[in-house]
């Protein structure tokens, strides 16, 4: 019975990894769709989000069943509760990738991104994908140091986000209000996606140590200890 219980706990972790990989792929494909005005690819990203939603519902159901039947305590309880929170972060990440794809669909056959911002949006999309890939690795390895690095990695996304706004506020902006709104939304989608990847990593830190990430030094020590 206990072996089956721990197998179920492990399967919840596997589900989180699957979700992270799916949403990481989704943000990469959505980025391609919006930069290339690729309607078919955008539609595939939009449709694929249902798989992420299904995974979250399945994971949530199994976690609630474990809580009801096994009444886990201590570390096991922390695993279940933290996993539920991570699944919510990942589901929201999938929604953000879908938002990018929906914007690509909305502006087809045109592009929501002016040519002079293609490089910035591409970099934001690639960085978002890398951050989520690292979050998936953190879920697998439970590596606290790697998890803490994600917040530092996210600084690069914040810099790109600020650069995007500086471009929008430049007196030389010539692409109109509609495009400015589109670019503003895109910047927000990528910035929030990165935040969710960081949140997942922080939750792994709590799962492993019982301490919140803000209380842990980059070397994995509890501050003040």
Would you list the domain boundaries of the chain?
2-215
Neighbours of 220 (CB within 10 A): 15
Measure the CA–CA gap between 114 and 141, rounded to whole angstroms.
40
pLDDT score of 9: 82
pLDDT score of 26: 98
Q: Which two tokens stand for residue 147?
A: 């998890």
Measure the CA–CA gap between 16 and 59, rounded to whole angstroms.
8
pLDDT per residue, tens digit, the chain (225 aa), is 557 777 888 889 999 999 999 999 999 999 999 999 999 999 999 999 999 999 999 999 988 888 888 777 777 888 889 999 999 999 999 999 999 999 999 999 999 999 999 999 999 999 999 999 999 999 999 999 999 999 899 999 999 999 999 988 888 889 899 999 999 999 999 999 999 999 999 999 998 888 877 766 555 554 433
Write down the number of H helices and E strands in the chain.
6, 0
Neighbours of 126 (CB within 10 A): 13
**Does domain 2-215 match CATH 1.20.58.220?**
yes
pLDDT score of 219: 52
pLDDT score of 145: 94
Measure the CA–CA gap between 129 and 28, rounded to whole angstroms.
6
Contact (CB, 8 A) for 52 and 22:
yes
Measure the CA–CA gap between 122 and 172, rounded to whole angstroms.
22
């Amino acid at each position: 019975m206990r072996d089956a219980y721990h197998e179920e706990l492990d399967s919840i972790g596997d589900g989180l990894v699957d979700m992270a990989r799916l949403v990481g792929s989704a943000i990469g494909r959505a980025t391609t769709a919006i930069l290339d005005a690729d309607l078919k690819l955008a539609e595939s990203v939009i449709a694929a989000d249902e798989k992420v939603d299904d995974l979250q519902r399945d994971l949530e159901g199994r976690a609630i069943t474990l809580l009801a039947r096994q009444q886990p305590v201590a570390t096991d309880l922390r695993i279940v509760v933290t996993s539920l929170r991570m699944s919510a972060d990942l589901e929201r990440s999938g929604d953000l990738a879908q938002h990018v794809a929906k914007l690509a669909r909305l502006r087809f056959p045109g592009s929501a991104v002016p040519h002079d911002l293609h490089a910035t949006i591409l970099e934001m999309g690639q960085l978002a994908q890398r951050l989520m890939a690292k979050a998936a690795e953190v879920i697998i390895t439970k590596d606290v140091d790697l998890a803490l690095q994600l917040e530092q990695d996210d600084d690069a996304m914040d810099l790109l986000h600020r650069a995007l706004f500086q471009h929008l506020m430049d007196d030389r902006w010539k692409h109109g209000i509609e495009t400015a709104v589109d670019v503003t939304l895109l910047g927000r989608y990528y910035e929030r996606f990165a935040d969710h990847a960081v949140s997942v990593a922080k939750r792994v830190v709590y799962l492993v140590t019982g301490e919140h990430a803000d209380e842990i030094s980059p070397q994995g020590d509890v501050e003040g200890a």
